[in-house]
Amino acid sequence: MASKDSNPDLASDTYQSPALAFKQALCFSCWDVSSNLSRCSACKRVSYCSAKCQKQDWNRNHKKICKKLVVLNKQKGYIPSAGRRWKDYSDEQELEFLKSGTWNVCELGRLVGYEPYCYHCYRRESQLEDKTKLNACQYCLLTSFCPSCQQTHPSAECVTLQDIAADDKIIVDLRRRTGKSSIVSFTQLPRKHYLSLSSAQDWHDYYTRLSDKGGCRSKMNRELKHLLNDPKEREFIEYLRCDTNTTTIQLTLIAALEAIMPNVSTRSSISLHVIGASGAEFASLPAFEELFHLLPSLTALHLSFVGLNVLEDLTDDTETKNSLTLRCCTACTEMGRSISMTAWRGPYHTYVDTECYKTPDLAAAFHSGFAVDEEAAWHPTIKYLAHAPHPTLFTAARYFEIRKEMGVWKNLGAKFVKNAEVNKWKGMSPSLTVCGDKPNEVLYQNYWWYIVKQK
Ligand SMILES: [Zn+2]
Ligand SMILES: [Zn+2]
Ligand SMILES: [Zn+2]
Ligand SMILES: [Zn+2]
Ligand SMILES: [Zn+2]
């Protein structure tokens, strides 16, 4: 993934940090949903449930960024209540990103990106009349209003944002219980007979027909929204929806394999290269087993993660440092199946000249953003992939990225196995953009996809 969405440091969990925390609706330290939060009195950008949490966060990172936030606040002067245009707001934000010397990969960048503003007049708190505050929407908690404006926003939009808040709470709860911040609930037992993923209409169909969640058929609609009001059932359906943001990677890969390999149902070994891999791809590692569970004849899966953000030290053992065998479920292990994984840090076009390189069946770059972000750095790799000895799958969240990418491919004379279209296996859980084209713009993981043809 491009720097825009990536986080080279997997230990610090900014990648999955809830938007609610950046919007001051959760304690920034323990992520507790307390009604009694108090803000950092200096920067007023983060909230805490207790003095203990505040101190902990201060020592962890906040002392480094608080001062910078105070400076940014001071640079923003009062704006009359008539407000301003969205463009003024977004230009200001671009400038802030430049000033804070970062993008939304790190905590400071995310705090800059998610700074609350009034939904109607686009003013931030430091731009309001003296001593006035923004109020959060009581339903989604992710939208704010200044006292001079109307205190509502469109209900359809609020419902989408409530999904984001619900997913944030699931992730907070999961982290508290398990220490993990992503959900993987793929098919429990390997399928005995191959049923093509392309025969499934959508996630609902996949969960209830190909996977083993048939019992949920009447409990959720096609958008994976719960239909019953039982809290336990509701929670389970919310988990399923949240999980699509992880498993989107594996299902998109299977769909791509089906598109390029007529014999995918009888293949015993498949080799995949994941280009520009970072946080999202690594968080989804356990879900690669879904390839075994949906492809009954597959016994060996080889994964290579290549990119600037890849951590090469997969294990502590110096001998096997760059390669690893992932443990499969009991049923797969008994069938003699295994996933071998290697990691290589550096650009893909350099990797292809190394001894470790072997031509894969398919390469994939999820949310590369190569035409909008770090274009120069990506170019040699893209040039190589336009005529590589294997097909390459690309995804992007936004249409304007796809449009720009198509321009680049056209110049390189690339051909396509699959033209750009909306991906059936996009994530179903939205996320809030930090610098969108309109207020409360949301994105879906791997919304668009296409496959570049091999030479
Ligand atoms: Zn706390
Ligand atoms: Zn502060
Ligand atoms: Zn306002
Ligand atoms: Zn709302
Ligand atoms: Zn298994």
Q: Where in the chain is the domain with CATH 3.40.50?
A: 182-452
CB within 8 Å of 82: residues ≥ 6 apart: 121
Provide the β-strand partners of residue 326: 339
Domain boundaries 182-452, CATH class:
alpha beta
Expressed in angstroms and rounded, the spacing between residue 294 Cα and the centre of ligand 5 is 10
The whole-angstrom separation of Cα 194 and Cα 273 is 24
Question: Relative to the alpha carbon of 52, which ligand is closest?
Answer: 1
Nearest ligand, CA of residue 46? 2
d(CA 395, CA 249) in angstroms, rounded, equals 10
Q: Is residue 8 packed enough to be buried (19+ CB in 10 Å), middle (13-18) or exposed (0-12)? A: middle
CB 174 within 8 A of CB 180: yes
For the CA of 84, the nearest ligand: 3
Q: Which long-range contacts (CB under 8 A, 24 or more apart) does 79-85 make?
A: 79/121, 79/123, 79/127, 81/121, 81/123, 81/129, 81/146, 81/148, 81/149, 82/121, 83/118, 83/120, 83/121, 83/122, 83/123, 83/149, 84/121, 84/122, 84/123, 85/122
> Rounded to the nearest whole angstrom, what is the distance from the C-alpha of residue 17 to the centroid of ligand 1?
14
CA distance 216 to 213: 6
- Cα of 442 to ligand 4 centre, how many Å? 13
Rounded CA separation 280/147 (Å) = 39
Going from the Cα of 298 to the center of ligand 5, the distance in angstroms, rounded, reads 11
Measured CA to CA, the distance from residue 7 to residue 279 in angstroms comes to 6
Q: Which residues of the chain have pLDDT under 70?
A: 1-16, 101-105, 181-183, 318-321
CA 436 – CA 90 distance, rounded (Å):
8
pLDDT of residue 3: 35
Judge contact between 226 and 234, C-beta under 8 A: yes
CA 190 / ligand 5 centre spacing (Å): 6
What is the Å distance from ligand 4's center to 152 Cα? Answer: 7
Both tokens of 186, joined, read 């793929």
**Spatial strand order in the sheet of 362-365:** 323-326, 338-345, 300-307, 269-275, 362-365, 392-396, 448-452, 416-422
Q: Which tokens is 136 given? A: 């959060």
Could you tell me the distance, in angstroms and rounded to a whole number, from the CA of residue 92 to the centre of ligand 3?
17
Looking at all shown ligands, the one closest to residue 34's CA atom is 1
In a 10 Å sphere around its CB, with 0-12 CB exposed, 13-18 middle and 19+ buried, how is residue 370 labelled? buried
- pLDDT of res. 182: 65
Q: Which two tokens stand for residue 307?
A: 């990119």
CA distances from 113 to 204, 207, 334 (A): 33, 35, 48
